[in-house]
Amino acid sequence: MTAQTAEQRDLAAVIGLEVHVQLETATKIFCGCSTQADDDEEPNTRTCPVCLGLPGALPVLNEGAVEAAVKVGKALGSAIPEETRFHRKNYYYPDLPKNFQITQYDAPICDGGSIEFGVDGERRTVEIERAHLEEDPGSLSHAGGSIDTAEYTLIDYNRAGTPLMEIVTAPDFRSAAEARAFLAKLTEVLEYLGVFDVTRNGSLRVDANLSIVDAEAIDDDGSIPGETLESANRTEVKNISSHKGAEKALAYEETRQKNAIRRGREVEQETRHWDESRGITVSMRSKEAEKDYRYFREADLPPLRVSSWKEEIDIPELPDARRERFREEYGLDAEAAAKLTSTKQVADFYERITERFDPELAATWVADNLLGELHYRDMAITDVAERLDEFTRLVELVDTDEITVKNAEEIVLRRMLDDGLAPDEIVDAEGLGKTDDDAVAAAVEEAIEENPDAVEDYHSGEGGALNFLVGQVMAKTGGSADPGTVNELLRERLEE
Ligand SMILES: Nc1ncnc2c1ncn2[C@@H]1O[C@H](COP(=O)(O)OP(=O)(O)OP(=O)(O)O)[C@@H](O)[C@H]1O
Ligand SMILES: [Mg+2]
Ligand SMILES: [Mg+2]
């Protein structure tokens, strides 16, 4: 093809993701070392002969990791085969002192599946090719921060042996934005399953694959023939640690590869590195082929049968289903249902509140007031999950008309979060208890007596007079009367 025709070609990006997620277990996948890092821990202290790969040390599979993997498989709709096996993937790199990684190859624990997600107001489904269990390697820190310029590198094996799942998608994405929306959905599902902690540093790492094909090669239903996919040279950007990073790296690769093709150059099939600070991908090495890894069976681990056990492993209601149920059962609109199911903890909190109150009142208090105030303070629902009773009491104070909505929102809720006080303490301290009816009626009488001019203005039809009188009554009651009631009482009294 000449450069001329290359320029005229209509090109499309093809993207597939390999997502590595750390599974939340107490101990590592093949030994008893803890997976929980202390903030101030020293490197290479949470280790033992197994995760250091010392000769003769034998792995023992962690049941908790298998259970978490089965949950992931059930959520993805994967087939979970009768028998699954472990393999050694051989490579020489200091993050794995054994010089091989225990992983899965031809019999992964999860086979196939799919995930549905929304992007730009549309629903998309992406196929999952497989999801397998493996051990996390150690972590490397490159002096100066960048792998391609560092003078030396330090190794920490505390992470080595953390249970990982590699979830591999089909090359079904057509844009970087789609890939990012998928990652958000996947994270949400994993969090609902309770097998994953998104706040943990490095708990999700993405390898992003991208190639460019002729737009004509894409069938009407959006699928791409296998031979087109195979013949397209793809790059794999390794080890991206955020959703946003994955989107940016893919957008960069798309532009870079399209430019190369339009200039008549061939794209190298290679592994690249995402340089976050420079916002570019850089070449690391040519892409290793499967044969380079010399996969063979891990003889130290027997084949694993989960066939009967897997039936006993339950998963919770997943985000889409819960969203739908919230709309039907509680009559919420799409926006409120989405907010209230954004995490499992928020949804659980909301459902506890609805046990006591009208679902709409509960929705306003959780979705608008509570989440809004939490967000403003950089807090999460998990920071208040233990104060459910206090929050229930706050809604009750409003529901039974003991305090005004305004005071509840602007004083009580805010002080609950800022000062950690209980609602009744705040009501007492601030004198927010609504003045009783007699006191309000007395204040109305006083206001009318003291302001004959305003009363006259009211009768001659001046609109502002009533508001003025309401203001007087509110001042007399120290702001604790309900403005609506005051308004009504004044009107009745003036029309007598
Ligand atoms: N033409 C293509 N363009 C973009 N992505 C592709 C293309 N063909 C395959 N892919 C994607 O590349 C990824 C391949 O992942 P897989 O784990 O199977 O192999 P690998 O990357 O060769 O191995 P490794 O796990 O050692 O990195 C999948 O997500 C797949 O969708
Ligand atoms: Mg892979
Ligand atoms: Mg790969």
pTM of the model: 0.84
Does residue 205 carry a pLDDT above 80?
Answer: yes
Does residue 244 carry a pLDDT above 80?
Answer: yes
- Which pLDDT score is estimated for 462? 87
With the most atoms of ligand 1 within 8 angstroms of its CB, the residue from 20, 175, 207, 209 to mutate is: 209
Q: What separation in Å is there between the alpha carbon of 171 and the centre of ligand 1? A: 8
Owner of token pair 């989440």: 371
Atom number of ligand 1 nearest to Cα 89: 26
Question: For residue 129, what are its two tokens?
Answer: 């090719």
Q: With contact defined as beta carbons under 8 Å apart, do 306 and 298 qualify?
A: no
Inter-CA distances, 154 with 43, 138, 282, 431, Å: 10, 10, 21, 60
- What average pLDDT does this structure show over 84-112? 95
Does residue 87 carry a pLDDT above 90?
Answer: yes
Write the pLDDT tens digit of every residue in 424-468. 999 988 888 776 777 788 888 899 999 999 999 999 988 789 999
Q: What value, to the nearest 5°, has the Cα angle with vertex 416 and ends 410 and 419?
A: 110
Indicate whether residue 480 lines ligand 1 (CB < 6 A).
no
Q: What separation in Å is there between the alpha carbon of 173 and the centre of ligand 3? A: 16
Q: What separation in Å is there between the alpha carbon of 251 and the centre of ligand 2? A: 21
Q: How confident is the model at residue 7 (pLDDT cuts 50, 70, 90)?
A: low
- Rounded-to-integer distance, Cα 233 and Cα 267, Å: 6
Q: What value, to the nearest 5°, has the Cα angle with vertex 409 and ends 403 and 414?
A: 115
Indicate whether residue 14 lines ligand 1 (CB < 6 A).
yes
DSSP annotation of 376: H
Does residue 5 carry a pLDDT above 80?
Answer: no
Q: Which domains does the chain have, with CATH numbers?
A: 8-312 (no CATH), 319-430 (no CATH), 437-495 (1.10.10.410)
Atom number of ligand 1 nearest to Cα 172: 31
- Which pLDDT score is estimated for 484? 86
Write the pLDDT tens digit of every residue in 225-238. 999 999 999 999 99
Indicate whether residue 17 lines ligand 1 (CB < 6 A).
yes
Q: What separation in Å is there between the alpha carbon of 209 and the centre of ligand 1? A: 6
Mean pLDDT over the full length of the chain: 92
- Which pLDDT score is estimated for 228? 92
Nearest CA to ligand 1 atom 9: 171
- Which pLDDT score is estimated for 438? 73
Q: With contact defined as beta carbons under 8 Å apart, do 101 and 114 qualify?
A: no
Write the pLDDT tens digit of every residue in 312-352. 999 999 999 999 999 999 999 999 999 999 999 999 999 99
> In terms of pLDDT, which residue wins out, 254 or 200?
254
Percent of the chain clearing pLDDT 70 (strictly above): 98
User: In sequence order, what are the residues at sequence separation of 6 or more whose Cβ sits closer than 8 angstroms to the Cβ of residue 145?
Assistant: 277
Indicate whether residue 124 lines ligand 1 (CB < 6 A).
no
Write the pLDDT tens digit of every residue in 361-397. 999 999 999 999 999 999 999 999 999 999 999 999 9
Q: What separation in Å is there between the alpha carbon of 270 and the centre of ligand 1? A: 12
Does residue 23 carry a pLDDT above 90?
Answer: yes
Does residue 3 carry a pLDDT above 60?
Answer: no
Does residue 1 carry a pLDDT above 50?
Answer: no
- What average pLDDT does this structure show over 181-206? 95
Does residue 129 carry a pLDDT above 80?
Answer: yes
Q: With contact defined as beta carbons under 8 Å apart, do 89 and 100 qualify?
A: yes
- Which pLDDT score is estimated for 2? 47
